[in-house]
């Protein structure tokens, strides 16, 4: 074997030994790795991961959204009777699983409770077509600029809110809501 090839192989082995030694030492002595904890804050600092704010007892903020026909809708215009708002988007698996329960509850309680879906990611066409696949007939609104979820401190979807006719949030379910949980939420709203 020529001296030049031998020297190259020795240099490569020496480099790899030093490199892996550095990596192992760095990993074992790494004290700069941040640790994360869950909180109810929307603060995205390295000390916490955002979760949804606790909204029960809060007023529904006056925000303008857009319906799937492109018309502006104020959240205040939704407050003519008890209200269920579901925050969702089409590629959210729990959102997909809960939509049939929401569609059924809307049909069952339509005379007493208004159901509204607030989509936070999709276009009007995608939201409308997707919801129709699950039998949704309730009003669909789009939070195009994220103002609705940011004002309420909503960091994850799905979220279902129960709101009395005066705009007071009286119930909240973060994550997928089952038919029985939704039924309980509606019954609490109608008390």
* Residue 124 belongs to some domain of the structure: yes
Could you tell me the CATH number of the domain that includes residue 118?
A: 3.40.30.10
Q: Phi and psi at residue 125, in whole multiples of 5°?
A: -65, -50
Question: Would you state the pLDDT for residue 47?
Answer: 44
- For the chain, how many structural domains are there in total? 1
Give residues with Cβ within 8 angstroms of 87, minimum separation 6: 117, 118, 120, 143, 148, 149, 154, 157, 158, 159, 160, 161
Q: What is the pTM of this model?
A: 0.73
Range of the domain at 134: 54-189
Buried-exposed string 112-130: b where 16+ CB fall within 10 A, e elsewhere: ebbbbbbbbbbebeebbeb
Helix (H, G, I), strand (E, B) or coil at 146: coil
19 belongs to a structural domain: no
- Would 29 be classed as within a structural domain? no
Give a yes or no: residue 91 inside a domain.
Answer: yes
Quick check: is 18 in a domain? no
DSSP state, residue 59: B
CB contact at 8 A, 81 and 156:
no
Evaluate whether residue 6 is within a structural domain.
Answer: no
Would 44 be classed as within a structural domain?
Answer: no
Reading the chain (191 residues) residue by residue, the pLDDT tens digits are: 677 777 777 777 777 777 666 666 665 665 554 454 444 444 444 344 445 777 899 999 999 999 999 999 999 999 989 999 999 999 999 999 999 999 999 999 999 999 999 999 999 999 999 999 999 999 999 999 999 999 999 988 999 999 999 999 999 999 999 999 999 999 989 98
Q: How far is CA 112 from CA 69, 87, 144, 166, in A?
A: 25, 20, 29, 15
Residue 32 is predicted with a pLDDT of 52
In a domain, 61, yes or no: yes
Helix (H, G, I), strand (E, B) or coil at 1: coil
């Amino acid at each position: 074997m020529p001296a030049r090839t031998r020297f190259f192989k020795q240099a490569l082995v020496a480099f790899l030994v030093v490199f892996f030694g550095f990596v192992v030492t760095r990993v074992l002595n790494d004290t700069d790795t941040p640790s994360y904890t869950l909180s109810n804050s929307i603060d995205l600092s390295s000390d916490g991961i955002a979760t949804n704010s606790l909204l029960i007892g809060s007023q529904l903020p006056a925000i303008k959204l857009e319906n799937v026909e492109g018309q502006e809708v104020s959240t205040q215009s939704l407050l003519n009777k008890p209200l269920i708002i579901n925050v969702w988007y089409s590629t959210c698996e729990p959102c997909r699983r809960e939509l049939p329960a929401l569609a059924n509850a809307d049909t069952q309680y339509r005379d007493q409770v208004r159901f509204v879906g607030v989509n936070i990611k999709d276009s009007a066409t995608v939201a409308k077509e997707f919801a129709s696949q699950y039998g949704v007939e309730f009003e669909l609104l789009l939070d195009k600029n994220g103002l609705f979820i940011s004002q309420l401190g909503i960091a994850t979807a799905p979220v279902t809110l129960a709101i009395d006719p005066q705009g007071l949030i009286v119930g909240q379910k973060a994550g997928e809501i089952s038919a029985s949980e939704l039924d309980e939420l509606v019954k609490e709203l109608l008390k």
